[in-house]
Amino acid sequence: MTEADRITIASGISGPDLMEKAGLTVADAISLRWKAQPVTLLCGPGNNGGDGFVIARLLAQRGWPVRLALLGQVNALTGDAAHHAAAWTGPVEPLSPECVREASLVVDAVFGAGLSRPIEGVIADTLRQITAPIIAVDMPSGVDGNTGQVRGFAAKASLTVTFFSAKPGHWLYPGRDLCGELLVTDIGISHNVLSTIQPRITRNAPSGWDLPQSDAEDHKYRRGHCLIATGVMPGASRLAAHAALRAGAGLVSVAVAPARIAEVAAMPAAVIQRPCPDLPSFARLAQEPRVSSLIIGPGAGADGRTRRRVLAALATGKAITLDADALTAFAEEPARLLKHLPPSPAVLTPHEGEFSRLFPDITGDKLSRARQAAARAGAVVLLKGPDTIIAAPDGRAAINTNAPPWLATAGSGDVLAGIIGGLLAQGLPPFEAACAGAWLHGEAANAHTSGMIADDLPAALPQALLSARDYVRVRQS
């Protein structure tokens, strides 16, 4: 955002004008949602506080009773913030808990997305005293705009108004929850600046990837053949197989031990069962030229047999999705897995527990951890959760935001692995397949509500695929 501001100012729009527009969008958002009532503006010593002075002036002009409290001294303000503080003709009082005790609304313009220190002392004490709805300017004070983590203390906002583009902290928990309603407003920064800035982190959406396209001459093998290794819990591989088919793979087969063939009989009739009594049999199946992607992990069993299958699959160099037991099986020797990953086009889909077993020394915020892990593994890492991160070895990352709470149900991860494997089978690159898979997974879940089970998800995928294509058409129009 600093660079976006710099480029915009260099193009001829002044800093004070940008700040005026930012304050105007917040004042308008407040006026649309609340009737005029006593409001307290909490202003910080930087540009976020400058936005607060603009908001205070505009609300006062509209007849709102306004009280303004500043962290620091007016004569210490500089730049654009000093310019707009000079335009405020009302009183300025010191920021303190007393100034919010009787407020009907509070505007938090203390620190924005560029927070560089923990919230403590009088700021934290003041925020803790607030019982009225809070409107946060750019970011609730205390939430790190890069990570969504709380530094010291943060109060939950009813509304957060940010400018030009959302920041990672708006979508990553706990920041995502603390923002309340998020409104991204236009303050005159052209989206053309993104071609100069070239951000590496995006919000996951269909505009960021292309779905596989079909044509009249397609046949099942041109649409891809996905092979799934079954194990001790065939139901998990059944979910993955159904999802891979619904994601568009032309053919899905399962490698199944002869003794377990009866257990997988409930799979969709389109799924082909391939008897696989031992490791050499699996290796031969994986090496078949028409097999274009592999999935190992759902219900596989976290044991030596699964480890050997993973290594045999990686030796083929084919696209592969490694989930659940395929990751846990290497908990005692993660370096062995990481050593054999390149150059396979691989997607790893750990939840937090599996991630910590594979990358025990990688700590910090979720986004940074996922990116470090992807760089180390030379593979795409999809770190699951309500704010799933998809990270590529080259530094790209996407934050998925459409997953509803009811996805937290047994088997939903197996469905996700199946979707990704089905997309890989059709030739989608690993990062794009993982991003598309996460979004389609969330979209399919949003077709249901509480009470949904994982078995419900595959049938909702065709409509989710249509929704993705509609999303792109609407954006293009």
What residues have CB less than 8 Å from 262, skipping those under 6 apart?
A: none
State whether 262 and 228 are in the same domain: yes
Q: Name the amino acid, one letter, at 315.
A: A
State whether 325 and 267 are in the same domain: yes
pLDDT band of 476, cuts 50, 70, 90: low
State whether 192 and 212 are in the same domain: no
What residues have CB less than 8 Å from 53, skipping those under 6 apart?
A: 23, 41, 43, 68, 81, 84, 85, 87, 88
State whether 180 and 247 are in the same domain: no
Whole-number mean pLDDT of the chain?
95
**153-158 average pLDDT score:** 98
- pLDDT tens column, 295-304: 999 999 999 9
In the 8-state DSSP scheme, what is residue 157? P
| Domain edge (last residue) among 199, 234, 252 | 199
Q: What is the pLDDT of residue 477?
A: 61
Report the C-alpha gap between 292 and 350 in whole angstroms: 22
Q: Give exposure, 312-345, as e/b (b: 16+ Cβ within 10 Å).
A: bbbebebbbbbbbbbbbbbeeebeebbeebeebb
State whether 195 and 226 are in the same domain: no
CATH of the domain at 61: 3.40.50.10260
State whether 244 and 112 are in the same domain: no
Q: What is the pLDDT of residue 191?
A: 87
Where do we find the tokens 């129009």?
A: 477
Structural domain containing residue 27:
2-199
State whether 471 and 420 are in the same domain: yes
State whether 100 and 143 are in the same domain: yes
State whether 335 and 353 are in the same domain: yes
- pLDDT tens column, 238-268: 999 999 999 999 999 999 988 887 777 777 8
- pLDDT tens column, 310-352: 999 999 999 999 999 999 999 999 999 999 998 999 999 999 9
Q: How many CB atoms lie within 10 A of CB 189?
A: 21
Q: What is the pLDDT of residue 221?
A: 73
| Domain edge (last residue) among 173, 199, 225 | 199
State whether 271 and 291 are in the same domain: yes
Please give the tally of structural domains in the chain: 2
**Would the pLDDT of 121 be above 80?**
yes
- pLDDT tens column, 201-235: 999 999 999 998 877 667 777 789 999 999 989 89
State whether 165 and 248 are in the same domain: no
**Would the pLDDT of 431 be above 90?**
yes
